[in-house]
Amino acid sequence: MTSHPNPRPLPVPAPAHADPLSDTRGRALRDLRISVTDRCNFRCTYCMPKEVFGKDFQFLERGALLSFGEINRLVRLFRDQGVEKIRITGGEPLVRRKLEVLIEMLAYWDDLDLTLTTNGSLLAQKAQALKDAGLKRVTVSLDSLDDTVFRAMNDVDFPVARVLEGIEAADRAGLAPIKVNMVVKRGVNDHTVVDMARFFKGSGHILRFIEFMDVGSTNGWQMQHVVPSRELVSRLDEVFGIESLDPNYTGEVAERWRYRDGSGEVGFISSVTQAFCRDCTRARLSAEGSLYTCLFATRGTDLRALLRADASDEEISAQIARIWRARTDRYSEIRTEDTAKQRKVEMSYIGG
């Protein structure tokens, strides 16, 4: 693999802060989601609809993207501020060339939980290299096992079978436990929910149902398209019998349930019908280095400018701390049909 950019030997532990970072609502900064590209090889209708993200859409130029070295530096500084978990996302992170080089850099920070969310299309080729580079786990998005439904939702005619191959490759490589994310949209794929559950029940993978959200301003969101998790819980309970579990940790976004027969776990991410802003400890870094404190933000703060103006670690850390301390976000708690229509940053840009 590549030469290592971080000093050896192993990293010094992140400092214990006498005054840990906390926002205006008392929430710590624990998770950082990093979008490594705004591009994607899918055009999921709920995320990057073709009418908007067509041939003429201007994606970021390569030079606008944070380099791996810049990302690594920011990760070091965020870790010093208390971040414990890093999720690599996008766009589709596996379309960023040589992503495993970045993973290897970030894996150096061995006390960080390092994970990645992918549409799975390139996972069969990449899983082993990602594991070898130090990735711990993956989350794979898959919206249906029904090939016709899935091809229509990704809108590039991508078959289910190849995503399943990716999941198998990730499993073989040891990127487990694998989580599988299914965005549920009423009238589109909600009739395939039970089949999905049946397929993954007993597999060791954790299927999570996500309520369709009004991210960005282009996906035509309406409340009537949302299938509330409550409804899915009763459907699954009727068919299989499920019972709720305690969260693994405060701020866990998925509500955990398990099959009564002991054959595994399912999760429900209910950001529309049961907002979890109260415990939200997540920040997001866009592919061009802007920091966002909410998935539904309208504006971010440019950290790339500081990086490229040779700002010191102390200056960048102070900026991160200023932004987090001023954070007031609680969008999902105050969502209405009107706020849903407001202009927001697209999820493919900010990172899901």
Token pair of 188 as six digits = 């589109």
Rounded CA gap, 190 and 50, in Å?
Answer: 22
User: Considering only 6-14, 39-47, 235-243, 258-266, which stretch makes contact with ligand SF4 by CB under 6 A?
Assistant: 39-47
129 interface partner picked from ligand SF4, ligand SAM, none, CB below 5 to 8 A per type: none
The residue within the footprint of ligand SAM, chosen from 212, 268, 296, 324 (CB under 6 A), is 212
Token pair of 351 as six digits = 């990172």
CB 32 within 8 Å of CB 286? no
Rounded CA gap, 234 and 68, in Å?
Answer: 45
CB 210 within 8 Å of CB 184? yes
Q: Is 270 in the site for ligand SAM (CB under 6 A)?
A: no
- CB neighbour burial string for 254-280, b if at least 16 within 10 angstroms, e if fewer: bbbbbbeeeebbbbbbbbbeeebbebb
- Any idea which residue has 């990449």 for tokens? 126
CA 227 to chain centre: 20
Rounded CA gap, 349 and 288, in Å?
Answer: 9
6: number of Cβ within 10 Å: 15
Q: Is 59 in the site for ligand SF4 (CB under 6 A)?
A: no
Cβ distance to ligand SAM smaller for residue 130 or 183: 183
Q: Is 141 in the site for ligand SAM (CB under 6 A)?
A: yes
Site string for ligand SAM, 12-51 (x = CB under 6 A): ----------------------------x-----xx----
Q: Is 149 in the site for ligand SF4 (CB under 6 A)?
A: no
User: Considering only 62-70, 79-87, 234-242, 292-300, which stretch makes contact with ligand SF4 by CB under 6 A?
Assistant: 292-300
Query: Between residue 301 and residue 340, which ones bind ligand SF4 under the rule CB under 6 A?
Result: 329-332
Instruction: Give me the residues that bind ligand SAM (CB under 6 A), please.
Output: 40, 46-47, 89-90, 92, 117-119, 141, 181, 183, 210, 212-213, 215, 219, 347-348, 352
Q: Which residues contact ligand SF4 by CB under 6 A?
A: 40, 42-44, 47-48, 90-92, 119, 141, 271, 276-277, 280, 282, 294-296, 329-332, 348
